[in-house]
């Protein structure tokens, strides 16, 4: 069981979490619990670390040690507090519970501080304690290196911790309790006809998570898919015993009724960069995107087209909005060398995507999308597709309209 920051936001809520955990335990299940820091706590710690001069970065630091290891010491502390509080609340209710800090298990990671990856979890001692009837409470978001230095797994990393612990213990399921009651067909704030999905395939969830649905950290879904851990997303605000089915994230084989489209996702954090009159010969794209990669700019959609001028082409790409000025500067600086006539940036764009494993075996999915957008008079500026996803770039002011139109067009509206 994993509980996120809002679910453990204050002691009252931690008591409710204790009641939910106790209920599972009373039903005869062996339970390990992974907790986040109390809501807002990690942000507060990040700010403190920054004030002290240790903003996470790859600066060399004194003696070549950098800063990120100490940043991790600071920001990992939030979860430790929650483990103790939850264990206390459980004991108060008469349940055997104890907190397990990472070095006590241990959970080991590489030494990429602030974005570490879990390598191994030694389940021997932990498993024995759980088998003896104890409830284990484990801090999410962190691990230790081979040298026993504290690492953190990147923001939202407690989801990944929970999946990793579930995999190590061979758990039947990983229940992720959060402030929403499941995964929805789209953001309910955008379309009030959004529906909770009963089940969603790993691949679909992965696309949804990387396209901006914030329910699960993307890496946790990757891990669940690789280790075949069944994940359930459900509400922590429902008292135990009350209906709370949530959404099961599982293998597509387990989904009987495959939807052509299961969800509509959107992201407003997009910018479009247009390079006009780019010289057209082998190596140009490699040069441009090599420079962008060196500048750590994460490029998403790419469209290349012929120009009216012979020997020239136009290239359009998208990147996160905050990176757009840097992307333009990077190209500008090498403009003569690459051979680019003109550079434009548009920052008021949004990406809207439809996702579904059923798409693989269905024709006309793109047509439905484009027709629905055309009917609303929404112009498409770029298109990208994968086997189970179609994304379009549009004017940001039509985001909501587009999401709703697509939700209706693919028959996702709640009746
Ligand atoms: N507390 C960490 C964060 O806010 C990890 C997590 O909650 O998943 O990013
Ligand atoms: Mg989270």
pLDDT tens digit sequence for 220-276: 999 999 999 999 999 999 999 899 999 999 999 999 877 899 999 999 999 999 999
| Cβ of residue 156 lying under 6 Å from some atom of ligand 1 | yes
Nearest bound ligand to the CA of residue 155: 1
| Across 52-56, average pLDDT | 70
The architecture in CATH of the region 2-252 reads 3-Layer(aba) Sandwich (3.40)
Distance in angstroms (rounded) separating the CA atoms of residues 36 and 78: 8
Q: What residues sit around ligand 2, an ion, with C-beta below 5 angstroms?
A: 4, 156
| Cis omega (within 30 of 0) for bond into 106 | yes
Is 67's C-beta closer than 6 angstroms to any atom of ligand 1?
no
- Nearest ligand 1 atom to alpha carbon 154: 9
Which residue bears the tokens 């929650």? 82
Give me the pLDDT at residue 307, please: 87
The protein residue with its alpha carbon nearest to ligand 1, atom 8, reads 156
- Give residue 214's pLDDT: 77
Is there an atom of ligand 1 within 6 Å of 250 CB?
A: no
Give a three-class secondary structure readout of the chain: CEECCHHHCCHHHHHHHHHHHHHHHHCCCCCEEEECCCCCHHHHHHHHHHHCCCCCCCCCCHHHCCCHHHHHHHHCHHHHHHHHHHHHHHHHCCCCEEECCHHHCCEEECCCCCCCCEEEECCHHHHHHHHCCCEEEEECCEEECCCCCEEECCCCCHHHHHHHHHHHHCCCCEEEEECCCCCECCCCCCCCCCCECCEEEHHHHHHHHHCCCCCCCHHHHHHHHHHCCCEEEEECCCCCCCCCCCEEEECHHHCCCCCCCCEEEEEEEEEEEEEEEEECCCCHHHHHHHHHHHCCCCCCCEEEEECCCCCEEEEEEEECHHHHHHHHHHHHHCHHHHCCCEEEEEEEEEEEEEECHHHHHCCCHHHHHHHHHHHCCCCCCEEEEECCEEEEEEEHHHHHHHHHHHHHHCCCCCC
Taking the CA of 81 as reference, the closest ligand is: 1
Q: What is the pLDDT of residue 92?
A: 98
Band of residue 323 on the pLDDT scale cut at 50, 70, 90: very high
**Strands across the sheet containing 142-144:** 118-121, 107-109, 142-144, 150-152
Looking at the CA of residue 159, tell me the nearest atom of ligand 1: 8
Average pLDDT over residues 33-59: 87
Binding site membership of 155 for ligand 1 (Cβ less than 6 Å):
yes
Q: What is the pLDDT averaged over residues 105-132?
A: 96
- Residue ranges per structural domain of the chain: 2-252, 264-409
Class of residue 276 by CB neighbours under 10 A (exposed 0-12, middle 13-18, buried 19+):
middle
Q: Are 171 and 130 in contact (CB under 8 A)?
A: no
What is the mean predicted confidence (pLDDT) over 107-113?
95
Question: Which atom of ligand 1 is the closest one to the Cα of 141?
Answer: 5
**pTM of the shown model:** 0.89
What does the pLDDT read at residue 258?
77
The pairing of strands 231-235 and 247-250 is antiparallel
Measured in angstroms, how far is the CA atom of residue 132 from the centroid of ligand 2?
30
Q: Which pLDDT value is given to residue 316? A: 96
Ligand lying closest to the C-alpha of residue 157: 1
Q: Which pLDDT belongs to residue 61? A: 53
Q: Using alpha carbons only, what angle is made at residue 85 by residues 35 and 31, rounded to the nearest 5 degrees?
A: 50
User: What is the rounded distance in angstroms from the CA atom of residue 127 to the CA atom of residue 252?
Assistant: 30
Q: What ligand 1 atom has the least distance to the C-alpha of 37? A: 1
Ligand 1 within 6 A of CB of 140: yes
For ligand 1, atom 6: residue with the closest CA: 156
Residue 131 scores a pLDDT above 70: yes
Query: Is 37 near ligand 1, meaning CB less than 6 Å away?
Result: yes
42 in contact with ligand 1, CB cutoff 6 A? yes
Positive or negative: CA dihedral 136, 137, 140, 144: negative
Ligand 1: nearest atom to the Cα of 157: 8
Ligand 1 pocket, residue 141 CB under 6 Å = yes
Q: Torsion-angle region of residue 57: left (phi > 0), alpha (psi -120 to 50) or beta? A: beta
Evaluate whether 263 touches 208 at the Cβ level (below 8 Å).
Answer: yes
Looking from the CA of residue 217, the nearest atom of ligand 1 is: 8
Query: What is the CATH number assigned to the segment(s) 264-409?
Result: 3.30.2130.10
Whole-number Å distance, alpha carbon 74 to ligand 1 midpoint, is: 13
Section 199-214 average pLDDT:
88
């Amino acid at each position: 069981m994993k509980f996120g920051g809002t679910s453990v936001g204050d002691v009252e809520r931690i008591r409710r979490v204790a009641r939910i955990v106790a209920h599972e335990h009373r039903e005869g299940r062996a339970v390990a619990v992974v907790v986040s820091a109390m809501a807002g706590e990690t942000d507060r710690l990040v700010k403190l670390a920054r004030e002290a001069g240790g903003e996470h970065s790859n600066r060399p630091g004194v003696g070549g040690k950098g800063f990120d290891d100490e940043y991790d010491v600071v920001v990992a502390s939030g979860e430790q507090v929650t483990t103790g509080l939850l264990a206390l609340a459980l004991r108060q209710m008469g349940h055997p519970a104890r907190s397990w800090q990472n070095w006590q298990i241990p959970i080991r990671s590489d030494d990429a501080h602030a974005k570490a990856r879990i390598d191994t979890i030694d389940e021997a001692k932990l498993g024995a304690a759980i088998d003896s009837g104890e409830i284990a409470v484990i801090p999410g978001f962190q691990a230790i290196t081979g040298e026993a230095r504290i690492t953190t797994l990147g923001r939202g990393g407690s989801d990944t911790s929970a999946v990793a612990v579930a995999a190590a213990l061979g758990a039947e399921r990983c229940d992720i309790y959060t402030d929403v009651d499941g995964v929805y067909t789209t953001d309910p704030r955008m379309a009030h006809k959004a529906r909770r999905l009963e089940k969603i395939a790993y691949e679909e969830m992965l696309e949804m998570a990387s396209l901006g649905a914030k329910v699960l950290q993307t890496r946790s879904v990757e891990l669940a898919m690789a280790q075949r851990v069944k994940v359930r997303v459900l509400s922590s605000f429902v008292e135990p015993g009350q209906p709370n089915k949530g959404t099961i994230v599982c293998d597509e084989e387990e989904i009987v009724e495959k939807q052509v489209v299961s969800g509509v996702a959107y992201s407003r954090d997009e910018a479009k960069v247009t390079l006009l009159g780019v010289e057209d010969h082998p190596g140009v794209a490699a040069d441009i995107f090599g420079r962008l990669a060196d500048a750590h700019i994460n490029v998403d959609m790419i469209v290349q087209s012929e120009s009216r001028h012979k020997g020239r082409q136009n290239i359009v790409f998208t990147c996160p909005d905050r990176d757009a000025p840097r992307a333009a500067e990077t190209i500008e600086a090498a403009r003569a060398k690459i051979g680019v006539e003109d550079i434009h940036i548009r920052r008021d764009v949004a990406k809207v995507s439809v996702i579904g494993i059923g798409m693989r075996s269905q024709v006309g999915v793109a047509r439905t999308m484009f027709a629905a957008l055309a009917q609303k008079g929404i112009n498409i500026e770029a298109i990208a597709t994968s086997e189970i996803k179609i994304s379009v770039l549009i004017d940001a002011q039509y985001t909501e309209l587009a999401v709703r139109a697509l939700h209706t067009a693919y028959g996702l509206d709640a009746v």
